[in-house]
Structure 1
């Protein structure tokens, strides 16, 4: 097996074990072939889109790409003249055409392959819960600069840009500026509303930087103190499930399963006095739209007409049904398959924790209407 692929699998499985880093298997990893290898410096192995990062193996979950072709995409000035929808579709086709391997099936390379192509040998892009409170708050950049002030080379903060071409273009400009100033590429990059990007020369160094960054961020975070409430009874849970299932079916014209969750984080926020306000800020990151159709909907009551009214309003507002409902003093109800519901549960749990802690850093900074529309329209 190629050394670069071996390193990629090791990195992916290591970070993929921790749900607090990946949220449902999301995130991207890549490793470039060393210059001293046969055809070295020409190829990059990267996680395949739509696959869980922790499930990667020698036979699946990755693509090998020609670096020259990938880098050529972001350098193509003609792309900036296209509409966002046409541009993103063309980029997706060109990224697929840049693949050079014997992979069977329709496994596309990560849409963020452009981001990885001009960074160091080993790149890890994650969406850690501990980082979320900083990159989704108004004063997050300032707080992070304080936390990492002792580093020999400073962190790089990347202001929000739309996923895909927009983000890659902005990162490229900032990385070139950074390299010109410091004589090297940045190792720790915080992408506003997009997560954490680690860039290093070896897999060991990359994994180590992830650990250091997360532990440092954790020191500033906490959970709300909430008085323990009695567990919701099975009768209430069953009744709410049936109501949501019925209302969804009547309004969306299809039947879906409804799953109930009440882990530690969900239980705390189901009983926290200010959760309703926290959820009113709108989606924080693209993933909250992609996986959940927006933030979890807060329900004060479990009465059928009230749930129906809230669901209808959300469908009218978003054009589709929300996937998650957080019911006061009960727990989280999620519409979907067992697999998709598990991902939604992780995203909602993370979002609640992030929203609470973002208040410490100047308040929550959610996606704007324009940023939300790009994701809905382009399927980012």
Structure 2
């Protein structure tokens, strides 16, 4: 592997996605107290345009600009959907932007109902399937884990479902169901107004299956040998999908009479390195050393995507280790040449490369990095 691009962002990059035409990379993020935005980079020249989020003006919401927790391009690249959260993991709107080259302009938004001190969870990812926008939330309530949005038909915003394996967004759609991990943050909690107490942000152990267009009840799927699902990705050309766990475990899922789980081996694989290494400073390393592991452990799988060849796939963990796979065979393992903890992952639609968003700073040093790596 080698580094093709290193893109600086003024906030932690919680979501990355390549445009469907392969010419641009979108990165969205923010900090604990909001102040997020969207960066669009032109891959051929390295030109970058950063658009800050606008402050919220709804009563009861934090006044800081929201953090962008998820991004997803429409099939024609004319729109970009952004799922956001407010400061301290409060709810935020789902925003539809019109895209022109490297510029974005707000066209529509869904604003969740909010009551002071009664947070209903916050967005952690977004995807388009057909004309629907699916938003995944950090919450301890099953019925609030996935929200289904549909923008006005006049906006002509539609997703390309063949792109799902290329972008890690925390959900997959299979056989009319949305599958996602039921866990949230390890160290944080959300307020439950029906009980009057704060509970850990975990809707369920294992997987949760949410019906997309039926009245069937939400289902829980047990994951053998795993404490919490922290990543999920579709497999191209089939109904199956992959999941990663809190302790680094990886599973392949397939449909027979029931959903079948296959635990993948996780050896270190052949040694590898990424050259050249990126320059870092003692100040940056010191800021990363103090990161609190509230959501993941260092071994937690935080992203899985399939490469454009449809055969190889990539996983990355919170400790900065990237692994390349073909089927159930591990082809190589590398440590990313930059300090920090990965938080997002995407694959290019036509070239064998991936983008990894790396969170490098704490509250006081939000500046971070997106690496584009050739596989």
TM-score (norm 1): 0.27
Higher strand share: 2
Higher helix share: 1
TM-score (norm 2): 0.27
